[in-house]
Amino acid sequence: MKEYLEKIIIEALREMTGLDEHPPVIIENPRSPEHGDAATNIAMVLAKPLRKPPRAIAEELVKTIKADPSRVSAIEIAGPGFINFRFANDWLYVELAGLLGNPDTFGRSDINAGKRIQVEFVSANPTGPLTVGHGRNAVLGDTVARLFEWTGATVDREYYFNNAGRQMRVLGESVRSRYLQLVGRDAELSDEGYQGEYIVDIARNLVGEHGESLTGTADLGPFQKIAEDQIFDDIKNTLGRMKIRMDTYFNERDLYENGDIDRVLTRLREKGLIYEEEGATWFKTTEFGKEKDTVLVKSSGEPTYRLPDIAYHANKLDRGYDLVIDIFGADHIATYPDVLSGIESLGYDTKKVSVLVYQFVTIVKDGKPYKMSTRKANFVTLDELMDEVGADVTRFFFLMRSPGTHLEFDIAQAREAGEKNPVFYLQYAHARIKSIMRKANEVYAQESEPDLSLLTHEAEIAVIKRLLGFPEAVAAAAHHMEPHRLINFLNELAAGFHRFYHDCRIMGEEKAIAEARIALLNGVTMVMSSGLGILGIDAPDSM
């Protein structure tokens, strides 16, 4: 409908002014239903160039607009010159019939058709199980990917990791210490070692596979290898529980082996953007607005994170993606601009890189924050969280707030199996409708297409309008990369259903009216199921 309104407004403007070019026509949803179903401020935008009061422009425009009465029932002027539109019921019925006839495609669009998009997320190194600290990243990345798929894009999900360096050496040493302890040798875990119980489990598997044959080896290889393999298996299983699959796993080591790291340094040096000082290699980030230059290679010869990250992003763009999306925690706010400066220096279009930065999660247990540390083993794993509250609740809680806001994950609220739990509120609405429909279908055997024009009650019309807003809600959530927008839409739809069910009976009504209302409820379950599916959450038929 918004495209149609934009079209008829532009046609009226051309007729009024004789000009082909005008400012963009923005169609918005009024805050209050009393103001109609759609509104535009174009009259106020045109006041200055046309040198007329916006109200006068609005009055002339309303007289000129040629709206199809089967689509638009009224056009009104409000305030200083807002133009409000009210949708015709006939149009609502036609669109509702379209939804009922195409439940699997309703809400999908071609906004991003033909685009190849890569979403890189989770990207935890294989040093321990995924914790709650990784959970928000994982669920945001997967849901953003789903949203872009619903808007027509081809999406690749990628996991970037590093299985080399100091942290992996410490991991190997930690497993070796636990291995030696299990076979009765004297060994102490260093203060910097990984102390989680999962290290003991890995060492126990190593004993089962090799016995005591590794007690004399100084090579950390076998210890690192089994640790990496087992941890990655656990990570993939955890993601699977959350309905997350990765298309590719990219090893940072490949950037060194294929020469990408050296090529980045060479190209930046050729552009005069790096220099050597005090044995380190520096990137002239002051030329991009930073107060200080940035070290790319330490005096020890070890690269900082920024160098492989620049090479990795160049690699991603070289693969032909139209857009690459990074899901980063707030601790990356100061670092990712350096990466963007690096790839811009190399000649890449930074508009093809989008960064979604989210705030961190605090687990609240017994009314108090619960701190996490992978190394010290004072952490809550994602598996433990899902064991406690379930995968659906876990996903929902990570998504229900804007990524840019801090999230408190309240275990007590998440455990609540009732309407106080926000995910159960939506799932219960879906299950309740299914139950109502089962009972109603036993009484009203549908013999023909329902007459949707019988849906004239205010609560019925409100539900239809909310249903028809689903495609826009999906598109907006994808555009802004904010899944909570879709949750807000579903909450409003569920509230609309409850009002409808309070005001409009089904059982005991005339057959034709009952069948029309059953059809409307069917539409609600279709959209509710699709919306929850995008969020990666089940839509149960009973609870």
Task: Kindly report, residue by residue over 451-470, the tens digit of the pLDDT.
Answer: 999 999 999 999 999 999 99
Strand 280-283 to 274-277 pairing: antiparallel
**Residue 182 zone, left/alpha/beta (φ > 0; ψ -120 to 50; rest):** alpha
pLDDT-based confidence at 23, cuts 50/70/90? Answer: confident
- Do 64 and 106 belong together in one domain? no
- Do 15 and 47 belong together in one domain? yes
Residues whose CB falls within 8 Å of the CB of residue 109, separated by 6 or more in sequence, listed in order: 150, 151, 152, 471, 474, 475
At 365 the three-state DSSP class reads: strand
State how far the alpha carbon of 125 is from the alpha carbons of 28, 122, 162, 295, 483, in Å: 44, 9, 6, 22, 26
Q: Tell me, what CATH number does 58's domain have?
A: 3.30.1360.70
Q: Which of 241, 271, 294 represents a domain boundary (last residue)?
A: 241
Full-model pTM? 0.91
pLDDT-based confidence at 525, cuts 50/70/90? Answer: very high
Look up residue 370 and give its two tokens. 């619960």
Residues whose CB falls within 8 Å of the CB of residue 488, separated by 6 or more in sequence, listed in order: none
**Is 299 part of any domain?**
no
pLDDT, position 370: 65
**Is 434 part of any domain?**
yes
State how far the alpha carbon of 295 is from the alpha carbons of 254, 268, 331, in Å: 22, 13, 18
pLDDT, position 323: 98
pLDDT digit string, tens, across residues 345-399: 999 999 999 999 999 888 887 777 765 554 455 678 899 899 989 999 999 999 9
- Burial state string for 473-512 with b = 16 or more CB within 10 A and e = fewer than 16: bbbebbeebbbbbbbebbeebbebbeebbeebebeebeee
- Do 513 and 428 belong together in one domain? yes
**Is 354 part of any domain?**
no
Overall number of domains in the chain? 3
- Do 52 and 104 belong together in one domain? no
Domain ranges, residue 175: 166-241
**Is 285 part of any domain?**
no
* DSSP for residue 18: -
**Is 255 part of any domain?**
no
Q: Which of 21, 55, 87 represents a domain boundary (last residue)?
A: 87
- Do 229 and 180 belong together in one domain? yes
**Kindly report the CA angle at 114 between 110 and 116, in degrees rounded to 5?**
115
**Is 396 part of any domain?**
no
- Do 44 and 107 belong together in one domain? no
- Do 448 and 529 belong together in one domain? yes
Q: Which of 211, 241, 271 represents a domain boundary (last residue)?
A: 241
Quick one: how many helices (H) and strands (E) in the chain? 21, 14
* DSSP for residue 304: P
- Do 457 and 432 belong together in one domain? yes
- Do 459 and 511 belong together in one domain? yes
- Do 500 and 449 belong together in one domain? yes
- Do 99 and 80 belong together in one domain? no
pLDDT digit string, tens, across residues 299-341: 988 898 899 999 999 999 999 999 999 999 998 888 899 999 9
- Do 527 and 424 belong together in one domain? yes
